[in-house]
Amino acid sequence: MNLVPKPLPPGSRWLPIAEWLALTGLLIAFAGGSFWPGWRVLNSDFPNHYLAAKLYHQGIPLDRVYEWTWFQRENNHLGVRDGLVGFAPNPPMSILPLVPFAILPPLAAKRAWLVLNLVLLVFSLWALRQVTSLNWRRLCIIPLLCVLPLHIEFLYARPYLLILALICGAYYAFRSDRQRTCGVMLGIAAAMKLFPALFAILFIWKRNWRALIGWAVSAATIAIASLLMFGVEVHRVFLSQVLSQASRGDWLGPYVLAQNSFITLWSHLFLVEPELNPVPSFNSPTLYAVAQATTVTVLVFSFLLSIKADRTPDRTALHWAALVPLLLLLSTTTGADHPCLLIFTGIVGFDALLTTGSKRNALILLLLYAVACARVPYRISTWFPVYRLTAMTMLYAFLLYASRKDRRLRFEWRWLAAGVISVAILTAHNLRIVRDREEDFGRRLPSPSSGHRAANPVPVAGGVAFTEMQRTGYEAVLFQDGDLHSMPLSDDVLSVAGAQTSPLLYSELAGRQSFIVRLALDRLGSAPEAVSEGQELVLSPDAKWLAFIREERGSSTAWLSATDSKDPPRMILPGTYHPLELSITSQGDVVAAVGNVSDPHLVLVRLGTREVTALAGFPHPARYPSVSPDGRRVAFSRLDRGSWHVVVRELSTGTEQQLTHGWCNSISPAWQDAQILLYASDCGRGVGLSAIVRRVLP
């Protein structure tokens, strides 16, 4: 027997050295360019989840956590961070991991979360080490090739490494034949972030009932824990108002191709929006609906066909590896950090292809993975903004090809029929979503080009005032004689009040407390005058009455004061009513939206008697009331199938006219005069990221 060892192939002895050098360079780049900058600075996105957890610790109900200005106000009151915050569209369950960290100061909590992220990353690699043939050196190199997602994840302390750890742990349990444990871990991931719920497709298709049961039980357990901790109301709001709109795909930057989703791509190509996407390639909601329906059908059906029969370990590994990019491609928005989940795909897919002897395919997969996660120069991203979406799609397609390449594709009429039916159903659904989205585009007021959200429109002498979300905070903006003017006010301006008969603008300045100030519009350079402590203010049409809300530890009360009197404000609604918004007549009577956030209703408070009566005949949920200057009509927003619509109701006859109909939100109506109504609409812009509409009524 020849015991002389075979010589190593040429160059193989240098491969470990090259890998060690690559690993060292990648580690240095990660530590200096991602981990350390994230360690030093408190920035978004971590404060969003931290603030929600902090509110829970403070005993403040989370019912209004999805409202932009309310959440910003609570951030300013607690002093969590300077700058913008926002929690939508995350489910309430995503707050749970941050609850233990909320006992720490914000920056200390972020640092603790970063340390946990490192532990989660190490756990992910350990779990995959148990079920792959890769050594630790390669196991460490592949995650560090996920350059941009890891950079964003550690710079902003986001939650996707937790999801990655749950997916890796689930795969380890699956390979160890612990199917219930596999399902449990993926159920937890699905409760924290909704898109991992699509792993249920794999379990159902493979008839893996043990995993499916574990998935359902763990997801239900997390949901019950969230209900017990955060209350039923915030979950009702999420289910009725947030989840129902999640399929729209226009949360943040609905036309920005860097969002790396197909729904964003088709919106950019086929849907017009006056400011965000004024010149699409071809303005056609029908083409948008068909393109999106076809994309979803092709992505899902190609996966189902690829996993139909082959159950060998290597093919199963490739199916798991392909499922992660499928989840990302089906997501309505794929942020720059979401592809850190591709670390699982890169390791499992690379190992499976090496095991089958397909070194060439393994290198191709690794290249596509690195491109999908790369940091590219600004010029390239500008010239080819969908490069990441393209790379992710190619990675997904290549995994499906690699998992099926030894089997011949067979044409089957039943799959074609199922695909056609799927496209037809999804197209009809998409057409319903985009129907009536353009009904108010021609009535919108201009807004600052750098603004994200115009809201709370009110009439003022000679113009219209509203709040504007800018990159660094909220400010008051005056639209007068066709020009926009920013008001010289400090702190975030979260609500404003005015009247056509008054030269004064009342504003809420939200710092550690919310204070009401008034500013003379004809003397914009003068200092504002402090009026009272309060928020969510409103002025009567004759400018004689000011109503507002005060909130303490989540309990709100409504107050009324005369603008020409130095008498202190008086309470008109105690905390038991839970007032949300107010409107006031020239006689001093107040119409208020009160009750639970998921199902509020309108009441009338008489000035003289302070008697509180429900407005009979008004359907609810109803919010944002506004009484016309002549006192004959009330405009308000009514919730219908997950969207808020502006409705005008005649008080004497009960006759109603619904002004808006799109699958979007129109809120905060205000009367400029007896025939002109102002309101904020987010149609085509992103949920809650509204523009101001001025509409003349018949």
pLDDT tens column, 297-329: 999 998 888 876 556 788 889 999 999 999 999
Question: How far apart (Å, rounded) are the C-alpha atoms in residues 68 and 62?
Answer: 13
Is residue 204 predicted with pLDDT exceeding 90? no
| pLDDT computed for residue 472 by the predictor | 85
Is residue 8 predicted with pLDDT exceeding 50? no
- Tokens 């404000």 correspond to what residue? 569
Q: Residue 213 — φ and ψ, nearest 5°? A: -65, -45
Check residues 570 and 375 and name the one with the higher pLDDT.
Answer: 570
| pLDDT computed for residue 5 by the predictor | 46
pLDDT digits (tens, 9 = 90+) for 272-302: 998 889 999 999 999 999 999 999 999 999 8
The confidence band for 464, taking pLDDT boundaries of 50, 70 and 90, is very high
Is residue 383 predicted with pLDDT exceeding 80? no
Q: 616: exposed, middle or buried (C-beta count within 10 Å: 0-12, 13-18, 19+)? A: exposed
Q: Which two tokens stand for residue 403?
A: 């998992």
| pLDDT computed for residue 310 by the predictor | 59
CB atoms within 10 A of CB 527: 11
For residues 479-495, average pLDDT: 86
DSSP letters, 446-509, are: P--TT-SEEEEEEEETTEEEEEEE-SS-EEEEEEETTEEEE----SEEEEEE--TT-SEEEEEE
Check residues 417 and 247 and name the one with the higher pLDDT.
Answer: 417
| pLDDT computed for residue 388 by the predictor | 87
**Of 26-35, 99-108, 329-338, 682-691, minimum mean pLDDT range:** 329-338
> Quick one: what percent of the chain has pLDDT higher than 70?
96
For residues 186-209, average pLDDT: 86
Q: Which residues contact 404 (CB under 8 A, 6 or more apart)?
A: 306, 310
CA distances from 243 to 88, 91, 98, 651 (A): 10, 8, 22, 34
**Of 178-182, 252-256, 687-691, minimum mean pLDDT range:** 252-256
For residues 652-657, average pLDDT: 89
Strand pairing of 463-469 and 453-460?
antiparallel
For residues 185-214, average pLDDT: 87
Any idea what DSSP says for residue 555? E
Question: How far apart (Å, rounded) are the C-alpha atoms in residues 33 and 262?
Answer: 30
Check residues 197 and 308 and name the one with the higher pLDDT.
Answer: 197
Q: What SS3 class is residue 676?
A: strand
pLDDT digits (tens, 9 = 90+) for 501-556: 888 999 999 999 999 999 988 777 678 888 899 999 999 999 999 999 999 888 89
Residue type, 549: I
Check residues 604 and 462 and name the one with the higher pLDDT.
Answer: 604
Instruction: Choose among 456, 436, 594: nearest CA to 537.
Output: 456
Q: Which two tokens stand for residue 76?
A: 């300013």
| pLDDT computed for residue 1 by the predictor | 41
CA distances from 416 to 209, 305, 429 (A): 28, 11, 20
Taken in order 148, 150, 155, 156, is the CA torsion positive or negative? positive
pLDDT digits (tens, 9 = 90+) for 385-423: 888 889 999 999 999 988 875 555 566 778 889 889 999
Quick one: residue 481, left, alpha or beta (phi over 0 = left, psi -120 to 50 = alpha)? left
H-helix or E-strand containing 264? helix 262-270
Question: How far apart (Å, rounded) are the C-alpha atoms in residues 52 and 230?
Answer: 10
pLDDT digits (tens, 9 = 90+) for 146-183: 988 999 999 998 889 999 999 999 999 999 999 999 99
CATH topology of domain 441-696: Neuraminidase (2.120.10)
> Quick one: what percent of the chain has pLDDT higher than 90?
58
Residue type, 687: V
DSSP letters, 581-629, are: EEEE-TTS-EEEEES-TTS-EEEEE-TTT--EEE-TT--SSEEEEEE-T
Instruction: Enumerate the CATH 2.120.10.30 domain ranges in the chain, comma separated.
Output: 441-696
Instruction: Choose among 288, 253, 285: nearest CA to 687.
Output: 253
The confidence band for 579, taking pLDDT boundaries of 50, 70 and 90, is very high
Average pLDDT along the chain: 89
CA distances from 467 to 75, 489, 628 (A): 17, 12, 21
Question: How far apart (Å, rounded) are the C-alpha atoms in residues 437 and 267?
Answer: 12
Q: Which two tokens stand for residue 531?
A: 């009026």
* Share in percent of the chain as helix, strand, coil (round to 5): 45, 20, 35
| pLDDT computed for residue 249 by the predictor | 65
